[in-house]
Structure 1
Amino acid sequence: MSSTDALGLAPLVMILTLVGLVAWGAARLFIAIYRYIRATPFQRLRMRHAWRISRQWKRLAPNVGLARVDENTKGRKDWQGKTAKPITVVPKVKVFPEPWGIRAVVKTIPKVGVEEVEKAGGWLADAWGCETVEVKRLAAGLVEVRGIVGNPLDEHVPYEWPAVDQWVLPMGHNPWMRQVAIPLRQLSGIKVGGLPGFGKTMLMLAWMASLSNRANVQFAIFDGKTSDPRYGDWGEVGSRAMFVVGDNPETANQRLTELVRLLKDRPAALVEERGTHKFWKHGPTEANPLVVIFMDECHNYSDVKGLTGKDKQVVENNQRMMQTIAKEGRALGVLGVFGTQKQTADALPTAVRDNLEVGVCFPVFTTDAAEAALGPGIRKDEANDPSGLVDKDSNVGVCVVTGVPGLGGRYDRIRVGDLDEDQLPGFIASTAHLRRDVIPAAAPTIVDVSADTSAGASVPLQKKTNTRRKTA
């Protein structure tokens, strides 16, 4: 091809390129208009919000410290030989409308990453008209900014009951209106903390109700709120549980001993039934069900403060058995749910608390109490600190959770789904026909017939000691 032909084709290529760009822009505009027409009035409001943020981004970013001057363009000369202004680089952003507000994906540039975006979070919230802004790193070079308009946690939605084939404990919705549930498979345990009257017991009753219609699940209940469990929060659902005990540490000690015996006998029972001691490989069955232990106000069974003598020994023994359940229950289908008003080491020993995978904390007065339930990371997450939720007018049923898959060790606020407090116990009691006591009987005492048993006392069989001395 001659140079003349090449020069003749150049305008054609430019025209085709221009037509392609115009067609691409027109197609995008048409799709945007089509989506806007089909959207609801609420969705249109969110779409206009997202467009406004996207349009103003290049002016906003430099003012909140999210832009940088390109060092390579400093001191350069223009075509007239004068010093030109350096180029300011602004991160690219894509803004998407969401039911709860807006979601922006920012492409990072040198010296503007996730830390810089987090520092500018307050300014972004004000500029975007959002209640709060949350920042997280999506991938290398990408930062997601979620701007929440209003407070979705003020919205009440019904509690979502799981399907029969789902092994989860539902909780409620988070600030982005997504339902959150705790998977039960391989779960070591749950700690539930918070001040009285904010919903700890109601959430645990909801968990019991969500599993009560399954014959392959059994329950054990320790009601530390009352001396006579018949008249407590758990009294109406006691017919579905293997047992219900009150706040007496000695009675709890007897029942904890039985549960530990179940743990120790469970591997042999699993191997006999399915050929493996791994409980979750085949899941719960009627012969070897999932056993869920609810310990409400568990500090009444484990706090040794002020105790001496026999009383202290009993409570220390309770601590050891609670520790055994927390450490060994995961692989054997025994799940402990420990609830208390303050999960500090004096109320719930760290040997128990630190082995519980999921932490749930309703409002508390101090960050120390929040740290005991959720871990030290909560001190750096002011937005999710449950000590800022102490308001019964608006935050009954609101909690903070950690340890749930998908959070990556972070925290999430949850509004527990609405429950009918009057109908819930009745529903659980209606499944009482599924109750079975699966705790194995205690090993029989072996009597040494050669010993003197005239007093009627049985003694363990022991091997006689050889008292003869060896000769030299």
Structure 2
Amino acid sequence: MTSSVLDGLNAAPLIALVALVALVGWGAARLLITTYRYLRATPLQRRRMRHAWRISLRWKRLAPNLGLARVDENTKGRKGMDGKPVKPITVVPKIRVYPEPWGIRVRAATIPKVGIEEYEKAAGWLADSWGCQTVEVQRVAPGVVELRGLVGNPLDEHFPYAFPAGDDWVLPLGRNPWARDLVIPLRELSGIKVAGMPGYGKTMLMLGWFASLARRPEVQFAVFDGKTSDPRYGDWGEVGQRAMFIVGDNPETAHQRLTELVRLIKDRPSQLVAERGTHKFWKAGPTVTIPLVLVLMDECHNYIDAAGLKGKDKELIEANQRLMRTVAKEGRGLGVIPVVGTQKQTGDAIPTAVRDNLEVGVCFATFTIDGAEAALGNGIRKDEENQPTTLIDKERFAGVCVVTGVPGLSGRYDRVRVGDIDEAAMLQLVAASIGYRADVIPAAAPTVRDVSADSAGTTVPLQKEAPKTTRRRKAS
């Protein structure tokens, strides 16, 4: 037994030496890999790497000063072997810092009494200490938060709008501050609402969506240009030949076309069952015979705002509102998607039954938080950093919007820079696809002239009337 103990004591230095060599080797390998990456990096990447190293080295001094560290209560009141008090242990959350093109990304652990709320409260001080424009915080896993520090303002950087050429059914939206490209999936989409003051990019974004889908024969368009009386001379005039129809700001003409769209929606289930054996449009997706129909309504309030109207004019507007509700509520599963644009998506400009049914919200600059709330929901009041009221500077923020309802945001909000659209390239793309235009509106029910009911003759639908029934008066 004694010899085995001695052998163990003799082996201890050898084990320690092996562990030391392994540790030194691991450190040397890590240093070599980091040096190699640094030498191969671009000047911007090197600057970001140095930034990340500085944050890591200074964290243990910074965290206690910002209330992001806690004294271990179990170590308070301890005394050493000599009976003197021993300083309690301060627990600092562990972090890992990653360089990114837009700044730095920090994964930080949480500890008791230092959670996501504490990190959010310290975000402003962290931004100043880390040399960032802003620091945003979000929970990524239990016990882990991610802090993203923006250096400069990436939303100031312009880039060309990319018209997608793939087979995915998406609408390109733009790039957020974290260099992530956001898109809007069209599958099972109930619709999109686009709001914001004039001149900030609403129409250009909608035109970009039009051009993105124009070269697909499985897509048809219905365009309502509420900004002009003659749509040939408006923003949509040059792309109108690709659309099934395009109307101006006349509510009566819009009523006729909305009636046709509702007829299309009512006819779709039987058409789908006859051709595919199912009434679910997205099970097989758009085809040339049963295409996706994108309904683009620019400045839609001109068709559905009844303020100050009376008599027949008011009745017409109310009828348009009912038709729009049908399109918004029933079109999702049948491949009819409304995209509704207006400057202020409040209830007086667009019925709330329509607005609140459109799941994706896009809002450019607004003067009031009420206008932003109408387009994005009441949660935007709490998210001060992403409020569209901060995008008023047209020189900087034309083409920048706030979005919600997009996959990946989990109900939150994000700012997006829309790419700069080359109008010549857009018009050329649309012109090359005019041959794909097809009118898929079903014909109206045939009518006959019934002269037996009225000597003058009246036109009635070719349908059987419900038999009239006489009710007996109940005996008292």
With normalisation by structure 2, the TM-score equals: 0.96
CA distance in 2 between partners of 1:91 and 1:298 (Å)? 52
CA distance in 2 between partners of 1:301 and 1:396 (Å)? 27
Aligned-partner residue type, residue 457 of structure 2: G
Identify the residue that residue 89 of structure 2 maps to in structure 1: 87
CA distance in 1 between partners of 2:299 and 2:471 (Å)? 57
Query: 1:7-406 maps to which residues of 2 (within 5 A)?
Result: 7-406=9-408
CA distance in 2 between partners of 1:126 and 1:345 (Å)? 41
Q: What SS is found at the alignment partner of 1:438? A: coil
Identify the residue that residue 456 of structure 1 maps to in structure 2: 457
Superposed displacement of residue 148, structure 1:
0.5
CA distance in 2 between partners of 1:272 and 1:469 (Å)? 44
Superposed displacement of residue 469, structure 1:
7.4
> 2:372–2:387: 8 Å Cα contact kept in structure 1?
yes
Superposed displacement of residue 468, structure 1:
10
CA distance in 1 between partners of 2:354 and 2:23 (Å)? 64
Superposed displacement of residue 105, structure 1:
0.2
Query: Greater shift after overlay, 2-11 or 123-132?
Result: 2-11
The structure-2 alpha-carbon separation of the partners of 1:105 and 1:466, relative to structure 1 and needing over 3 Å to count, comes to: closer
Superposed displacement of residue 453, structure 1:
5.1
Taking only aligned residues, the RMSD between alpha carbons, in angstroms, comes to 1.7
> 2:449–2:457: 8 Å Cα contact kept in structure 1?
no
Aligned-partner residue type, residue 42 of structure 1: L
Runs (5+) with no aligned partner, structure 1: none
CA distance in 2 between partners of 1:185 and 1:323 (Å)? 20
Q: Deviations over 1:286-336 (max 9, x none)?
A: 110000000000111111111111111111111111111111111100000
The structure-2 alpha-carbon separation of the partners of 1:463 and 1:416, relative to structure 1 and needing over 3 Å to count, comes to: closer
> 2:255–2:320: 8 Å Cα contact kept in structure 1?
yes
Aligned-partner residue type, residue 462 of structure 1: E
CA distance in 1 between partners of 2:471 and 2:368 (Å)? 67
Superposed displacement of residue 114, structure 1:
0.9
Superposed displacement of residue 425, structure 1:
3.0
CA distance in 1 between partners of 2:453 and 2:361 (Å)? 55
Runs (5+) with no aligned partner, structure 2: none
Superposed displacement of residue 372, structure 1:
0.7
> 2:369–2:387: 8 Å Cα contact kept in structure 1?
yes
Query: Greater shift after overlay, 323-332 or 286-295?
Result: 323-332
Query: Greater shift after overlay, 218-227 or 6-15?
Result: 6-15
The structure-2 alpha-carbon separation of the partners of 1:467 and 1:328, relative to structure 1 and needing over 3 Å to count, comes to: closer
> 2:133–2:149: 8 Å Cα contact kept in structure 1?
yes
CA distance in 2 between partners of 1:84 and 1:459 (Å)? 98
> 2:215–2:429: 8 Å Cα contact kept in structure 1?
no
CA distance in 2 between partners of 1:465 and 1:84 (Å)? 98
Q: How many residues align?
A: 471
CA distance in 1 between partners of 2:78 and 2:297 (Å)? 72
Percentage of pairs with the same residue: 70
> 1:448–1:462: 8 Å Cα contact kept in structure 2?
no
Q: What SS is found at the alignment partner of 1:78? A: coil
Q: What SS is found at the alignment partner of 1:436? A: coil
CA distance in 1 between partners of 2:269 and 2:93 (Å)? 57
CA distance in 2 between partners of 1:238 and 1:30 (Å)? 61
Identify the residue that residue 419 of structure 2 maps to in structure 1: 417
CA distance in 2 between partners of 1:459 and 1:169 (Å)? 43
Superposed displacement of residue 116, structure 1:
0.7
Superposed displacement of residue 7, structure 1:
1.1
> 1:129–1:149: 8 Å Cα contact kept in structure 2?
yes
